[in-house]
Structure 1
Amino acid sequence: MIRMAIELAAPVKINLTLHVTGRRPDGYHLLDSLVVFASLGDRLWVEPAEEMALQLSGPFSRGVPADGRNLVWRAAELAGQVLRIRLEKNLPHGAGIGGGSADAAAILRAFDAPQRAIELGADVPVCLSSRPQRMQGIGDRLSRAETVPALPLVLANPGVSLPTPAVFKALSEPENNDMGELPAWPDRDGFLDWLGAQRNDLERPARGLAPVIGDVLAALSGAGAGLARMSGSGASCFGLFPSEAAAEAAADRISRAHPGWWVRSAVTIPGADL
C-alpha cells in the first residue's frame, strides 16, 4: 500500500509485426505479434484518496474520459485501490501505440495486480513489461524476445483516431499464418532481414478506413526509413533508421513537412541488457 504520491511511466508500445491468425467463436481475434517499447509515453502520479478521482493533462487529454470509462480508473478498481490519479496524456489515443492500455498496465504493475490485466483488453498484459515480447492468442500468451536489438525509429501519427473494432471489422481474411519459430538473430542486420519479411495484417483494412496512413508510410520511407510499417490497428506508423542521428533528422524533416502530424524519434528498449 502506498502512503504518498508516486510517479509511474507508461511507455509507448510498438507492434513491429501483427499477424492475425484466426477468430474464436466468441468473436475475439487471435494474434501473433512482436511488441517493443520505447522510453517516451504517458506519465501518471497516484496517491491514496478517500474517493476515486482522475485529473487529465497533456497535449492529448482532450476527449479522454475522466471517470469509470477510463482504463486507468478501471485498473485501480481491479487492483482494489482508491486513488487520486493525475494522468499526463503525451501519446495520441486510438493510435495503435498502447496509450490507455499502457496507462492501465502502469497501475496494475504498481499495485501487484498483473493477473487482472487481460480483463482490460488484449494490449494490457503485454504493456506490463517494457521489454520486447511475443504476444499470441488474444494477448494472454506472452514470451520474452531476448535477442531483439535496440532500434532507432520515428513514430508518426497523422491526427487520425482509428477505433480498433472498426479495423478488425474491415479485415476480410482473419485466417493467416503466424510468425513461426522466432530465430536467434545473430545481429541487427539479421533481425532486420527477418522483420522485413513479416507484416501487419491490419494495415490494409486500416488504410481503407484512413487512406492518410499511406501518406505517413510514404513520408517515413522518403525520409530514409529502411522499413516503414503501421503499428497495431493504426493510425500510427513507425520507420526504422540506421542510427539515432538519422532518426532525429528524419523526424525533424517530417515534422516540418507535416506540421499537423504527431512525430517523435526514439530508440526501443532491447530484449536484454547489452
Structure 2
Amino acid sequence: MTLFHETGWAKINLALHVRARRADGYHEIETLFAFVDGGDAIAAAVSDADHLTIDGPFGEGLSAGADNLVVRVLALLRDRYGAARVPPLAVRLTKTLPVAAGIGGGSADAAAMARLVRVHFLPDVGEAALARLVGTLGADIAACVASATCLGVGTGAQLSPVPELALGGTPVLLVNPRAPVATGPVFAAWDGTDRGPLFTGADLRAQLFAARNDLQRPAIAQCPAIADILTELGGLGPWLARMSGSGATCFALFDAPAERDAAAATLAVRHPGWWQMAGVLR
C-alpha cells in the first residue's frame, strides 16, 4: 500500500487590518499571511471508500464526518474532476496544532489535502486554479494552498505576492494558552472603526511595526490570557510579537534561532501549561 503525505503548515497573520463590515456578514480585511515550517500531518492511501481518521494531541472530539474540511475538499475535487481521476482515499489526520487558534487549523488541513490530491492524481491542474476552487470552502484556504507569504484582501481570499517581505528562514515561536477562541464572535465584537490600510513603506521592520491586528482587542476581551502571552513574549527579545488571526495563538519573530530557543525555554518554565511551537518561516 502506497502512502501519500502532506503537511498542513501553520498560518500566521503578520498583520490583520479590518476595514469594513460587509452586508453579507463578512468583513473587508487586509492581511499579511506567512507560514511556519511545522503543522498538522496528513497521510492517505487509495481505498474502497473515503475514510478519515483523526489522531494527535489536538484530535480529540473533532468530527471526521462529511462536515470536516478534509472530507469536503475530497468531495469537491471529485465533483469537479471526476471519480475516475480522484479515487477514494483513506486519510489519517494527525492534529499537532491547537484548534480554534488563529493559525489555519482546518483551512491548512484542507489545503494540504488539496495539494496531496493535485500532486498525485491531478498533476495537470495549476496551483492557482486549485486555490480558487478549494478557496470557496473558506476564506483562508486559498492562501494555505501555496503556504507562502502573501497579501490577502477582500475576505482574505484575493491574494498577491509580496516579494519585498523576504522573511523565509526567520526564527519564529508560536504560543497558545490552550484556550480556543471562536472566530465569529471576535469579528462580531470588532468596534467598526477603520484604522487605516496596511503601511506600505520600504523598510520591512517599519512596515510590520506600523501594522497591527485589529482583532487583538476583541480577542483579549474573550481570552485575557492573550494579553499575558504578548507581555511575556515582548520581554524576551523578539523584534515583533503579535496575535495571529482571531487568536488565541501569538507569535514572536527573532533575529537568531538561539534567541528563539532561549525564549521558548524561559516560557516553558514560567508557563508550563502553554502550548509552544518553535520553527522558521517558510
State the TM-score, normalizing by the size of structure 1: 0.91
For the pair 1:95 / 2:93, whether they are aligned, the reply is no
Does the residue aligned with 1:7 lie in a helix, a strand or coil? strand
Residue of 210, 235, 249 corresponding to 1:236: 249
Amino acid of the structure 2 residue aligned with 1:69? D
Does the residue aligned with 1:156 lie in a helix, a strand or coil? strand
For the pair 1:158 / 2:156, whether they are aligned, the reply is no
**C-alpha separation between the residues in 1 aligned to 2:197 and 2:46?**
44
For the pair 1:252 / 2:257, whether they are aligned, the reply is no
Question: Which residue is 1:131 aligned to?
Answer: 148
Question: Which residue is 2:91 aligned to?
Answer: 85
1:166 Cα deviation from its structure 2 partner = 1.0
Q: Is the contact made by 2:15 and 2:212 (CA closer than 8 Å) also made in structure 1?
A: yes
**C-alpha separation between the residues in 2 aligned to 1:249 and 1:264?**
13
Residue of 60, 63, 66 corresponding to 2:64: 66
Residues 42-93 of structure 1: per-residue CA shift (max 9 Å, x gap): 1101122222211111111112111112111111111114221000101001
For the pair 1:268 / 2:281, whether they are aligned, the reply is yes
**C-alpha separation between the residues in 2 aligned to 1:207 and 1:102?**
24
1:111 Cα deviation from its structure 2 partner = 2.6
Question: Which residue is 2:83 aligned to?
Answer: none
Question: Which residue is 1:198 aligned to?
Answer: 211
Q: Is the contact made by 1:22 and 1:176 (CA closer than 8 Å) also made in structure 2?
A: no
Point out the more displaced range, 208-217 or 259-268.
259-268
Does the residue aligned with 2:102 lie in a helix, a strand or coil? coil
Q: Is the contact made by 1:223 and 1:254 (CA closer than 8 Å) also made in structure 2?
A: no
Residues 79-133 of structure 1: per-residue CA shift (max 9 Å, x gap): 1142210001010010000111000001122334433222211110000112110
Residue of 5, 18, 21 corresponding to 2:19: 21
Question: Which residue is 1:272 aligned to?
Answer: none
Fraction of identical pairs, as percent: 40
1:17 Cα deviation from its structure 2 partner = 0.2
**C-alpha separation between the residues in 1 aligned to 2:246 and 2:132?**
25
1:171 Cα deviation from its structure 2 partner = 0.9
1:38 Cα deviation from its structure 2 partner = 1.3
Q: Is the contact made by 1:93 and 1:99 (CA closer than 8 Å) also made in structure 2?
A: yes
Question: Which residue is 2:186 aligned to?
Answer: 167
1:227 Cα deviation from its structure 2 partner = 2.0
Does the residue aligned with 2:15 lie in a helix, a strand or coil? coil
Point out the more displaced range, 166-175 or 245-254.
166-175
Question: Which residue is 1:31 aligned to?
Answer: 29
The number of equivalent residue pairs is: 261
Does the residue aligned with 2:276 lie in a helix, a strand or coil? strand
Amino acid of the structure 1 residue aligned with 2:117? F
Which runs of 5 or more structure 2 residues have no equivalent in the other structure? 79-85, 119-129
Distance 1:51 1:208, change over 3 A: same
Which runs of 5 or more structure 1 residues have no equivalent in the other structure? 270-274
Residue of 97, 100, 114 corresponding to 2:131: 114
**C-alpha separation between the residues in 2 aligned to 1:14 and 1:236?**
9
Does the residue aligned with 2:61 lie in a helix, a strand or coil? coil
**C-alpha separation between the residues in 2 aligned to 1:35 and 1:54?**
28
1:174 Cα deviation from its structure 2 partner = 5.3
